[in-house]
Amino acid sequence: MATTIHPTAIVERDAQLGSDCDLQAGAIVRRDTILGDRVSVHPYAVIGGDPQDLHFDHSTGSGVRVGAGTTLREHVTVSRSTKPGGFTVIGEECFLMANVHIAHDCVIGRNVVLGNNAMLAGHVSIGDYTFLGGGVGVHQFCRVGEGVMISGNASVSRDIPPFVMVAERDAVIGLNLIGLKRRGVPRAAVVELKRAFQAVYFTPGNIRSVAASALANGGFVSAEARRFLEFFTSGKRSFARARRAVGSGAGVEE
């Protein structure tokens, strides 16, 4: 099907539009932006604008890549990469509600929902099937794993492992069981995830070492549990913490 560019929408040079896209009145697609098929850009969204970085060289050639089936609602802003030849990336079938901001060099997975006024600083990564409530703010360079649910107005300044729920400031409040059920994750995998969650968050000691030991002991075989544990073996930031205290009263080291 043909792509529709409504009156007053702007498409700059070297932008690439897939089939059946819908650019509504006032939408702006900046140069070197690539839209997949069936991407919808609503009024006054700006896709591919310059990074909000005082040190950015505006002559740098970079862009934004948006996956097929993604919707960007009113006043969404997505900044292009700061790296020559680089892209800020939004995956397929994402839904970005009004006033969402995605800063330079972010990588967003597929089937991600960002609520109204959600804000991602530079170099943030968001895993597949993750939901950020309205007003959520994410600090630069943070990683948010797949299948995460973050409540409205929460602040994220640490890495968030896959399949958990987060509230307030970096407070992990449990597994996202409803999200796991909706995705059809097998019950056996959910049981393993519960054990992995307990092992990581309620075993005293260094959280990276605890996760590595849990992986090495061979007791976790499901892909979901292993992805949860493997998340703690990489990255440079500290990790979000479980809200309730460890039963023994001992803390868990970063």
Choose one of 73, 108, 141: the last residue of a domain: 141
178 within a domain of the structure (yes/no): no
| pLDDT at residue 249 in the model | 32
Residue 53 lies in domain: 4-141
117 within a domain of the structure (yes/no): yes
| pLDDT at residue 244 in the model | 66
Q: How far apart are CA 23 and CA 75, in angstroms?
A: 13
175 within a domain of the structure (yes/no): no
Beta strands 164-167 and 171-175 are antiparallel
120 within a domain of the structure (yes/no): yes
Both 121 and 195 in one domain: the answer is: no
| Dihedral (Cα; 129, 135, 141, 147), 10-degree rounding | -20
| pLDDT at residue 243 in the model | 77
Beta strands 143-144 and 131-132 are unpaired
Q: 127: which 2 tokens?
A: 């895993």
240 within a domain of the structure (yes/no): yes
Both 125 and 8 in one domain: the answer is: yes
Q: 166: which 2 tokens?
A: 């987060």
| pLDDT at residue 218 in the model | 79
Stated pTM of the model? 0.93
Q: Count CA within 13 A, CB hemisphere, residue 194.
A: 9
Each residue's pLDDT expressed in tens, for the chain with a length of 254 residues: 799 999 999 999 999 999 999 999 999 999 999 999 999 999 999 999 999 999 999 999 999 999 999 999 999 999 999 999 999 999 999 999 999 999 999 999 999 999 999 999 999 999 999 999 999 999 999 999 999 999 999 999 999 999 999 999 999 999 999 999 999 999 999 999 999 999 999 999 999 999 999 999 878 999 999 999 999 999 999 999 997 643 333 333 34
Both 123 and 198 in one domain: the answer is: no
Choose one of 85, 108, 141: the last residue of a domain: 141
| pLDDT at residue 111 in the model | 98
| pLDDT at residue 216 in the model | 93
Both 19 and 98 in one domain: the answer is: yes
Q: How far apart are CA 198 and CA 15, in angstroms?
A: 48
Both 136 and 54 in one domain: the answer is: yes
Those residues whose C-beta lies under 8 Å from the C-beta of residue 89, and which sit 6 or more positions away, are 64, 65, 67, 106, 107, 108
Radius of gyration, CA atoms only, the chain: 20
82 within a domain of the structure (yes/no): yes
Cβ(151)–Cβ(176) below 8 Å? no
Give the residue from 102, 51, 50 showing the smallest Cα distance to 72: 102
149 within a domain of the structure (yes/no): no
